[in-house]
Amino acid sequence: MTGKQQEQAPGPEEYKAVTALVIPESEHPIREQQLDREALKVLYRLRDAGFKGYLVGGGVRDLYLGRAPKDFDISTDARPGQLRQLFRNSRTIGRRFRLVQVFFRGTKIIEVSTLRSRSEFDINGKEQVLPSNNTFGTLEEDAFRRDLTINALFYEIETHTIIDYIGGVRDLDRGVIRMVGDPDRRFTRDPVRMLRVVRHAARTGFGIEEETFAALRQHNEELRLCPPSRIRDEVLKDLQSGASRAWAELCMRTGLWPALFPFYDEYMQGEQGEKIQKELLNIFTVLDRLHARQEEAEPVKVPETLLFAALLLPWACLRFKLPETNVRGQGFSHLSRIIREDVDRAFGEPFNVQRMAKESLTTLLVNLSTFYHARSQGDDPNWLKKKSYYGDCSRFFDIYQESQGVPAVKVERFVVPHKDTGTVEVVTPAQESNGESRARGRGGVNPAFSSTKTGVFGLRRPRD
């Protein structure tokens, strides 16, 4: 692909004299009408206010590949304070890097970030880490601080061009996942980047570039140095992605799987290991089938605890002899306690799972045997249908059955109807500082009083 060259300011020290490839509209597939309407509103308001605005990251990547983007993120040379003045329906989030979220009807959010410069390219020393403050920069500097080449592209709304500093378009054309810069250095600075490499390879079906793949295998153990909650959130994204099977296969090939889930180590050796891997992949296939409806009018929502329970299922079945184990009374309570303790030790503590979620995981796993033996005798008994956990546990058992080759999961049981909640109200600084008190929650109406005879909670509004 050809494109005219445009000289830009020098980038990081390791990438001096970088020239951007500017690809005109006639040479790329992205068209303005494909962009989200609200994203266009933000981009044109930035332009009209004298700022530069670019569609960035996954939005450009997906549009180039002919896919519908999940998010339309925007970068600009406007500072966060200027963005807040420009978009009154917005708020600022983030500590290390401040982003501005612009709200629209139907809970739609467009995230706008200021172009940044500070990255490991700008600092010396292997152990030196990034400072916690914003450092604003140029378009070129922002490109080099991004993780993957295919996510470091910019779409300029005024001229309808794609701006590429690091060969992202070439890698899109070739189907390659490549780190920006030295993968060894970048994985050492932030090991979570390894999960992003695997995620995008799984979702796009692209191959991982040789040097990046070698660095994945070399540094996978460093994932254990990351905050547990951060790893948990990243894994959850992959379980919800609709490409969880491909993600798991790549994790096993690159050595990330034992680094993420060491409790599987002793069970994934020899013939038994092949069986466990097959069971895991079968479960992820079921989850992917469910999430395939995500873009439809009524998307699927699989509860997070159910996703984590599915991840633990082959391990739990082997460890606790599920679902064949059939216990009642004290035996059931004893098994519940053992499962709770082992789940907490293997998964709850390492992934910083909240107590309520751990209880839900235990309930799902221990009742696998309950449903197994109940359905072996026919339909679920009435006493089981009356249990508070019946809905989630029955859906979980359906996933288990389908992973064993018995079609059981009805997608409709996971469907969440769309709801238009209207405009999201954001309190502006002027409203916050005008000295008027503002009732919370119900538009200023105090729910403790009522004009009815009995009132609410026994309280009636006093008469004048």
pLDDT digits over 101-138, tens only? 999 988 899 999 999 875 544 445 544 444 444 578 89
Q: What pLDDT does 428 receive?
A: 38
pLDDT confidence bin for 294, thresholds 50/70/90: low
Residue partners of 420: CB distance under 8 A and separation at least 6: 105, 106
Instruction: State mean pLDDT over 164-186.
Output: 96
Instruction: State mean pLDDT over 408-431.
Output: 61
Q: What pLDDT does 147 receive?
A: 94
Tell me the per-residue pLDDT of 353-370, one tens digit each, with 9 for 90 and over. Answer: 999 999 999 999 999 999
Q: What pLDDT does 45 receive?
A: 96
% of the chain with per-residue pLDDT over 90? 73
Task: Please tell me which residue in 62, 73, 238, 342 is annotated as part of the active site.
Answer: 73
Mark whether 73 is an active-site residue. Answer: yes
Q: What pLDDT does 449 receive?
A: 45
Task: Tell whether the torsion through CA atoms of 224, 225, 229 and 232 is positive or negative.
Answer: negative
The secondary structure element, H or E, covering residue 38 is: helix 37-48
Q: CA 411 → CA 70, 331, 398, distances in Å?
A: 21, 34, 11
Residue written as tokens 């780190």? Answer: 179
Residue 244: closest CA among 291, 278, 306: 291
Q: What pLDDT does 26 receive?
A: 96
Task: Please tell me which residue in 71, 173, 233, 265 is annotated as part of the active site.
Answer: 71
Residue written as tokens 């500072």? Answer: 79
Residue 215: closest CA among 240, 238, 190: 190
The DSSP secondary-structure symbol of 27 reads G
pLDDT exceeds 80 at position 165? yes
Q: What pLDDT does 382 receive?
A: 95
Task: Please tell me which residue in 62, 77, 142, 147 is annotated as part of the active site.
Answer: 147
Instruction: State mean pLDDT over 252-268.
Output: 95
Q: Each residue of 409-421: b (16+ CB within 10 Å) or e?
A: beeeebbeeeeee
Min mean pLDDT across 118-122, 290-294, 420-424 is at: 420-424
Instruction: State mean pLDDT over 435-460.
Output: 46
Residue 286: closest CA among 205, 206, 405, 201: 405
pLDDT exceeds 70 at position 11? no
Tell me the per-residue pLDDT of 13-68, one tens digit each, with 9 for 90 and over. Answer: 444 557 899 999 999 999 999 999 999 999 999 999 999 999 999 999 999 999 99
Min mean pLDDT across 58-67, 123-132, 276-285, 378-387 is at: 123-132
Residue 138: closest CA among 119, 123, 157, 125: 119
Mark whether 147 is an active-site residue. Answer: yes
Separation between Cα atoms, residue 175 and residue 390, nearest integer Å: 45
Q: What pLDDT does 432 receive?
A: 38
pLDDT exceeds 50 at position 404? yes
DSSP SS3 for 116: strand
* 8 Å CB contact between 46 and 53: yes
Separation between Cα atoms, residue 364 and residue 360, nearest integer Å: 6
Q: What pLDDT does 85 receive?
A: 94
Instruction: State mean pLDDT over 365-394.
Output: 95
Q: What pLDDT does 83 receive?
A: 95
Beta strands 153-156 and 53-56: pairing type? antiparallel
Residue with the larger pLDDT of the pair 235 and 448: 235
Alpha-helical regions (H) of 205-303 = 210-219, 228-239, 244-254, 256-260, 270-291
pLDDT exceeds 60 at position 258? yes
Indicate the average pLDDT of the chain: 85
Instruction: State mean pLDDT over 318-339.
Output: 94
- The tokens of 321 are what? 């002899």
Starting at the edge strand found earlier in the chain, the sheet holding 4-7 runs: 4-7, 19-23, 161-164, 153-156, 53-56, 74-76, 109-114, 99-103, 90-93
Q: What pLDDT does 454 receive?
A: 53
Beta strands 90-93 and 99-103: pairing type? antiparallel
Residue partners of 183: CB distance under 8 A and separation at least 6: 211, 212, 214, 215, 216
Residue with the larger pLDDT of the pair 233 and 271: 233
Residue with the larger pLDDT of the pair 419 and 220: 220
Q: Each residue of 362-373: b (16+ CB within 10 Å) or e?
A: bbbbbbbbbbbe
pLDDT exceeds 90 at position 233? yes
Separation between Cα atoms, residue 350 and residue 79, nearest integer Å: 38
Mark whether 48 is an active-site residue. Answer: no
pLDDT confidence bin for 440, thresholds 50/70/90: very low
Separation between Cα atoms, residue 437 and residue 431, nearest integer Å: 10
Q: What pLDDT does 40 receive?
A: 96
pLDDT confidence bin for 98, thresholds 50/70/90: confident
Separation between Cα atoms, residue 45 and residue 233, nearest integer Å: 33
Alpha-carbon Rg for the chain, nearest whole angstrom, is 26
Q: What pLDDT does 16 receive?
A: 52
pLDDT exceeds 50 at position 226? yes
Q: What pLDDT does 405 receive?
A: 95
pLDDT confidence bin for 2, thresholds 50/70/90: very low
Instruction: State mean pLDDT over 143-163.
Output: 95
